[in-house]
Structure 1
Amino acid sequence: MNTNETGGGNIIDNLWTGLVRYPNDGSAPKNAVAQSIETGDSKVYTIKIKQGLKFHDGTEVQAHNFVDAWNWGAYGPNGAKNSSFFSDIDGFTDVNPPAPEGGGKAPAPKAKTMKGLQVVDNYTFKVTLSAPFSIFPTKLGYSAFYPMPDAFLKGGNPDEFGKRPIGNGPLKFVSWEPNVAVKLTRFDDYALDNKVTLKDVTVKLYQDANAAYQDLVSGNLDFMQTIPVSALAGDKWKADLSDRTINVPVPTSAKIDFPFYDSKFRDVNLRKAVSLAIDRQEITDKIFSGSKKPANSWANPLTPGAKDGNCTVCTFDPAKARQLLQQAGGFSGTMKFYYNGDASHKEWMEAVANQVAKNLNIQAQAVAVPLNAQFRAKINAHQLDGPYRAAWQQDYPDVENWLGPLFVTGGSSNNGLFSDKEVDKLYREGTAAPSVDAAHEKFAQAVAKVDQDVPSIPVYFYNQQSGYSEKIKKVETNSKGPIDLSTVELAG
């Protein structure tokens, strides 16, 4: 509930299992912990869970472990980053009241629990939404909706629990050495069909993507999700790894976000100018050797409900960019483009900065923050004074996931603090629509307003290149891109 970045999220997705899970082929969600999810009106959902499933401490997963966890995540004073994922549930604003429109501190909550959550018995609970929302079941495989054990719910310290988490997934936590490795081991009492046959798994944390790649080539790393730019040139990675490669499109987009809390970036013409000054085709061709696709829409087109080509500022038009910059009153000083230096982002972020400098005739510079943990801390604390690298890895297969968390006021990953009342209104109309198709139509209207506001800059769509070692005979990546450890078969 408090992790909204992919590095931690990938580990959490192995430590926990939710009500539903998403098949690797991108098809509709399948029940996992849920026995059934039923509704007659898309507003009241009755959820039954399978009996006999356990947390890693041996306690049984029951209905209250979902209800109490969701109430904890939604409760404003707890400060969970993913609290907005519970905003569909009746009573959310009672536990998480919004801050005043003019700014300032949010008022104290009227309640500690949402009236829309009710435990029926040990294996059944009801969820009443504030309005019908047909996409709600699709969201339930996201990590914000995972159950929490009584060890946490009965007064556990969130920070301490985060250092030694207890989940209900196929792997359980062993140890975590910050900036070095997280060690996991198989949970032998796991009873669902995505069991892991591997005994132990170590997630290595690198400060440099090229160092990780060298470990992959030498056999000291068994799987690398994203091959660095340096190895893509001339298909070097294929020569290094032979047939131990994976090359698949994934519903993930790279983008650059604007800090709306910095007054320098509040003029929409400036934001449009920056976007139009970027030659996405040159970046994907020269930096990524054609392995990525220039972004032309706000949601990745692999996503259900997404519309291809709806980003009107994703074209390269330096003349129009300079005209818009003039209308914005120009830009003084150096425009800094921030990125985390421990992954393979230096080349393309420098290309962006150089293109903006050249095509707008201003000073621009790419600035590395050494570690992603430091980078994310600055983003979450709203401490960046320039545009910054971002990406969105689809949490669940619906275009709503590319709108609510990113562009709705208070969204869990709306880190730049963008806010537009019309976007919020159209989004809420979409979530209350009577069908998925009707919802998608409203979401499309909201995205069209986002396109006018330019809160961020879509740059490229991922085509993921991954590699694995000679120790692995078979492996698949999941629908979002990370390794699916339940598919791994070792050689020999």
Structure 2
Amino acid sequence: MQVRGLTAWTVPLVLALALTACGDADTAGRADPDGTVRIEIAEPQHLVPTHTVETSGSQVLSALFSPLVDYDAQNRPYEVAAESVTSADNRVWTVRLKDGYTFHNGEPVTADNYLDAWNYGAYGPNEQNSSYFFEKILGYAQLQGERPKARTLRGLARVDDLTFTVTLGEPYADFRSMLGYTAFYPLPKAAFTAPGVLDPGYEQAPIGQGPFRMKGSWQHDASITVERYDAFPGRQPRVAGVDFRIYQQPSAAYADVLSDNLDVIKNIPTERLGSAGDDLGDRFKRSPASSLEVLAFPTFEAEFADPRVRRAISMAIDRNGISESVFKGSEPPARSFVSPVVAGYRADTIGEAGRYDPAAARKLYEEAGGPARIELSYNTDGGHAAWIGATCAQLTANLGVECVASAVPRFADLLTAVDRREHVGLFRMGWVMDHPSMENYLGPLYGSTGSANYYGYANPEFDRLLAEGTRATTGEAAIRRYQQAEDLLARDLPVIPLRHGQNVFGHSTKVRNVEMDLFDRVDLLTIEALRAG
């Protein structure tokens, strides 16, 4: 999530950051700057920046928008659409925009476009999935509830056409880093039918200020096509357009890559990991990623309310065995709630709950009165059937329960169901960091008001430690608090960490310089199409 954030796919985490995606400089053929590339995605849930919390939507929005900041190889933020982001006290931040940016409809990009978008995203009645990310800005609380006391954030102020200030409720040293996230994109005036009222049809053909613009509209469950925006003042892409092909079955996407009918598959299907090297040769790629795969509990349901039940289920799962048998070792087992790519990661925070012990698991499960039937819900547009099936078999054998795997066609549908608290049993979730910080693996997923807290987890002590971490004046002090908060998750287990991921992807013979970032996105500024022949 998201966004990067939530991910629909199983993505095989890197053990050593030295592993990098290789360019394809030696690939035969000449680059075709007028060519279009075809990239696989799942059906997005939304395409409004403040409402998009899954990786397929984020991939599309990365074409349409340019972020205020991006991240270098050391995960340090650097300015992109921003000229500068500065603060003397980590509480009052001044954002100066680069001149010359325009939206795809010709509107000049100004400070007002950021203020309008952020205020819309923060306003509680708009029910935006990423509203949580504005919580640190002064006045956020007044925008919440059935009858908010305000419509705009007190902490946002326009200085001039290209400058605005952001005042936070408390100092937060990582605020500049946060600004690379999808929720902080601007919106044009044309996106609103009235002040603060978004056009309901906007996301069918979003207008951004990035290197590509929409070509036509979102063809649901089929495709989203974008074309190069020649007036973009930043780094121009090397292709004329991108056709985002929407697949419900990763196996179909893989077959299309092999036959050159698709140019990039972002995640090799698990059942093809063993043969992908032979199938694709040097077009089979791996690179670092930030993803984490978990099984989540609806803690608000009585049968999963007891942490002992959750702990027993965790102990009944052979993480190492599934990693080897299903993922051929490409997805290392996870026993922590954060990724190894961020500072503060510890390899084994869940301790005993992460150790495979079928006898102890069954004893604890029976003592806690665990349910006789367990349902595992997953999305079929993400290639999860094999590992879900293996997990179900282990739970049946080790706990003596009936385990049923329930398939939902699309990840967007699964998110909607759990958001409405419909009964889905345990459900799989994947998380890709929004910005490089421990906090991003904790706050959105487990904070009481977290944007991706689909399991109903609420712990005031966790919220307090998280808040103390965000107020810390040094990175080291922040990490100490975040680790204490993670220790509470290890005790309560609202989710079971299963595997870390890495980007394991492939491409056709018609493209080169295919790279993926830590956020499960293809780099649209490096990829090149090749001329036929």
SS in 1 for 2:120: helix
1:327 aligns with 2:373: no
Q: Distance in 2 between matches of 1:82 and 1:271?
A: 28
Tell me: CA distance 1:295–1:161, structure 2 relative to 1, closer, same or farther (3 Å).
same
Q: Distance in 2 between matches of 1:290 and 1:303?
A: 22
Which residue, out of 66, 69, 80, partners 2:117? Answer: 69
CA contact (8 A) 1:294 1:460 kept: yes
Q: In the alignment, which residue of structure 1 is the partner of 2:243? A: 202
- 1:261 is displaced (CA, Å) by 2.7
- 1:158 is displaced (CA, Å) by 4.0
Question: Scaled by the length of structure 2, what TM-score is found?
Answer: 0.87
1:113 aligns with 2:185: no
- 1:308 is displaced (CA, Å) by 2.4
Which residue, out of 510, 514, 517, partners 1:475? Answer: 514
1:220 aligns with 2:281: no
Amino acid at match of 2:59: N
Per-residue deviation, residues 202-258 of structure 1 (Å, max 9, x unmatched): 11111211111000000000000100012112xx11111111121123111111111
Where do 1:289-328 residues align within 5 Å? 289-312=328-351, 313-328=353-368
Which residue, out of 98, 122, 134, partners 1:50? Answer: 98
Q: Distance in 2 between matches of 1:315 and 1:296?
A: 9
SS in 1 for 2:83: strand
CA contact (8 A) 2:87 2:93 kept: yes
Q: Distance in 2 between matches of 1:50 and 1:168?
A: 12
Q: In the alignment, which residue of structure 2 is the partner of 1:397? A: 436
Amino acid at match of 1:183: T
Amino acid at match of 1:199: A
Which residue, out of 174, 177, 184, partners 2:226? Answer: 184
Between 125-134 and 379-388, the greater mean CA deviation after superposition? 379-388
SS in 2 for 1:242: helix
- 1:409 is displaced (CA, Å) by 0.4
SS in 2 for 1:125: strand
SS in 2 for 1:452: helix
Q: Distance in 2 between matches of 1:137 and 1:391?
A: 25
What 5-or-longer segments of structure 1 have no aligned partner? 97-105
- 1:372 is displaced (CA, Å) by 2.5
- 1:439 is displaced (CA, Å) by 1.2
1:285 aligns with 2:327: no
SS in 2 for 1:484: coil
- 1:60 is displaced (CA, Å) by 1.0
- 1:154 is displaced (CA, Å) by 5.1
Amino acid at match of 1:231: R
Q: Distance in 2 between matches of 1:390 and 1:240?
A: 29
Q: In the alignment, which residue of structure 2 is the partner of 1:31? A: 79
CA contact (8 A) 2:55 2:521 kept: no
SS in 1 for 2:483: helix
- 1:384 is displaced (CA, Å) by 2.9
Q: Distance in 1 between matches of 2:315 and 2:200?
A: 43
Q: In the alignment, which residue of structure 1 is the partner of 2:127? A: 79
Q: In the alignment, which residue of structure 2 is the partner of 1:125? A: 164
Q: In the alignment, which residue of structure 2 is the partner of 1:460? A: 499
SS in 1 for 2:414: helix
The size of the alignment, in residue pairs, is 478
Q: Distance in 2 between matches of 1:158 and 1:317?
A: 54
Tell me: CA distance 1:161–1:440, structure 2 relative to 1, closer, same or farther (3 Å).
same
CA contact (8 A) 1:354 1:365 kept: no
- 1:310 is displaced (CA, Å) by 1.4
Where do 1:247-258 residues align within 5 Å? 247-258=286-297
CA contact (8 A) 2:125 2:146 kept: no
Per-residue deviation, residues 56-107 of structure 1 (Å, max 9, x unmatched): 11111111111121111000011111101000011100112xxxxxxxxx34
1:16 aligns with 2:65: yes
Per-residue deviation, residues 392-416 of structure 1 (Å, max 9, x unmatched): 0111111110011000001000011
Q: Distance in 2 between matches of 1:270 and 1:16?
A: 44
Which residue, out of 75, 80, 91, partners 2:139? Answer: 91
Tell me: CA distance 1:224–1:309, structure 2 relative to 1, closer, same or farther (3 Å).
same
SS in 2 for 1:475: coil
SS in 2 for 1:366: strand
Q: In the alignment, which residue of structure 1 is the partner of 2:376? A: 337
Identity %: 36
SS in 2 for 1:319: helix
SS in 1 for 2:325: helix
Per-residue deviation, residues 20-67 of structure 1 (Å, max 9, x unmatched): 0123x3531110111111111111111111111111111111111111
CA contact (8 A) 1:69 1:153 kept: no
CA contact (8 A) 2:267 2:504 kept: yes
Q: Distance in 1 between matches of 2:425 and 2:398?
A: 18
Which residue, out of 184, 189, 192, partners 1:150? Answer: 189
Structure 1 runs (4+) deviating above 3 angstroms are none
